[in-house]
Amino acid sequence: MSQYFPQIPVIRYEGPASREPLSFKYYNAGETIHGKTMAEQLRFAMSYWHTLCAAGTDMFGGDTSDKSFGSGDAASLARAKAGAGFELMNKLGIEYYCFHDRDIATEGETLAETSRRLDEIVPVLAELQQEHGKKLLWGTANLFANKRYMNGAGTSPRLDVYAYAAAQIKKAIEITVELGGRGYVFWGGREGYETLLNTDMKKELDHLAALMTMSRDYGRKIGFTGDFYVEPKPKEPMKHQYDFDAATTLNFLRAYDLLGDFKLNIEANHATLAGHTFEHELRVAAINGAFGSVDANQGDLLLGWDTDQFPTNVYDTTLAMLEILRAGGFTNGGLNFDAKTRRPSNRPEDIFLAYIAGMDAFALGLRLAARIEEDGFLTENLKQRYASFDSELGRSIMDGTATLESLAAYAESRPEPVADSGAQEYLEATLNQLMFG
């Protein structure tokens, strides 16, 4: 196998005292934390698009790095990317990866030519998976980059565009199944609107739900037994996206009877753009029975766009891992690094340093979340806080036998109720103590 990153060694765990940049300080794949290996708890995945395609372009400037991997035509580029991707996964010890159809093969002149390109690269990927023991976490279709989708795909006002999207999804589900993917993602990048002046929201949502229903039916028909995911995002590129946040998406899934087959893929940066914390969105997904997978990255709360930074804030990774542990861990999902190196981090080694930064931040987050759970203080505090509802009257509320009258009669018989301190400052100080030792 040709070497795409000859200067980069296999990254090993050296512990927190090491000053070797190309080593893990906190991620020790085989170490057992909270009952499973770190590898299993964290299920890291490489994102094909940011890692192998994105080259540093932003709205005010062009590429800063080179992602051609020495290749020439479309076919050789596709193979080079695959080779580079598997080398990177091997060197970082990452077991999973995720892709859009257009990441693994660029689009051809016609649908048929594009399908041919996919049919050429998919066996290559299958063989690489087999050879290196890697797996596809999830696949998806890119329904937002091409100009045909500028008004949406499933929500396009044009039937031809909609049908094209259906064809593209069909193929993307097929290759996901072929590669053994356990998830299939819908991120509605252009499913939203720029202005209500030209938008029939009801019609667009009906169309989108029909497309998702057909996708579900087709996937099940061809043997896909994994999870469909919707990935909420409030805005960008569109002024308003329909899958604004977890709760909005759940309302849509309930309204069109899609919940169950569809779960959520929660992204940290999308959570904060919607006005929520990452852990809030994970909690909303979990309590609605829709916790699926995670796009691990981090935004900048002083900026109003999707920065897709590699996650390094250990408060965020700790609180996120706490939610994930409490939700029982991943089933079909995992932690996909939907993250890109900063534009000026343009050396090949920056990609590795960035993955190390993100993997170590989540590994540390896992260690700290496990410490918190094993300490038990926060859990016990929470339990005590709601203990008054364990009474007979409390149970009558949950079993549906209580009424306003029964509760009012109780209230009238009691002295003025007193609310307990929430002790937020003490809890935050305790969290610091548990985190910093």
Q: Which residues does the annotation mark as catalytic? A: 100, 103
Using the minimum distance from each CB to its own copies, give the nearer residue, 127 or 375: 375
C-beta of 91: minimal distance to its own copies in Å? 16
C-beta of 55: minimal distance to its own copies in Å? 10
How far is the C-alpha of 356 from the C-alpha of 359, rounded, in Å? 5
Using the minimum distance from each CB to its own copies, give the nearer residue, 83 or 154: 154
C-beta of 376: minimal distance to its own copies in Å? 12
Using the minimum distance from each CB to its own copies, give the nearer residue, 131 or 257: 257
C-beta of 108: minimal distance to its own copies in Å? 11
Using the minimum distance from each CB to its own copies, give the nearer residue, 85 or 234: 234
Q: Is the peptide bond before 16 cis (omega within 30 degrees of 0)?
A: no
**Residue with tokens 């029975």, as numbered in its chain:** 289
How far is the C-alpha of 366 from the C-alpha of 372, rounded, in Å? 10
Q: Is 66 left (phi over 0), alpha (psi -120 to 50) or beta?
A: beta
How far is the C-alpha of 95 from the C-alpha of 90, rounded, in Å? 8
- CB-count burial class (<10 Å; 0-12, 13-18, 19+) for 11: buried
Q: Are strands 335-337 and 44-47 parallel, antiparallel or unpaired?
A: parallel
Amino acid at 41: Q
C-beta of 72: minimal distance to its own copies in Å? 21
Structure-token pair, residue 196: 């209500």
Using the minimum distance from each CB to its own copies, give the nearer residue, 128 or 324: 324
CB 48 within 8 A of CB 103: yes
C-beta of 368: minimal distance to its own copies in Å? 9
Q: How many residues does the chain have?
A: 437
Q: Which DSSP state fits 258?
A: -
Q: Is the dihedral of CA 108, 112, 114, 119 positive or negative?
A: negative
Q: Is 93 left (phi over 0), alpha (psi -120 to 50) or beta?
A: left
Alpha carbons within 13 angstroms on the beta-carbon side of residue 249 total 33
Using the minimum distance from each CB to its own copies, give the nearer residue, 151 or 336: 151
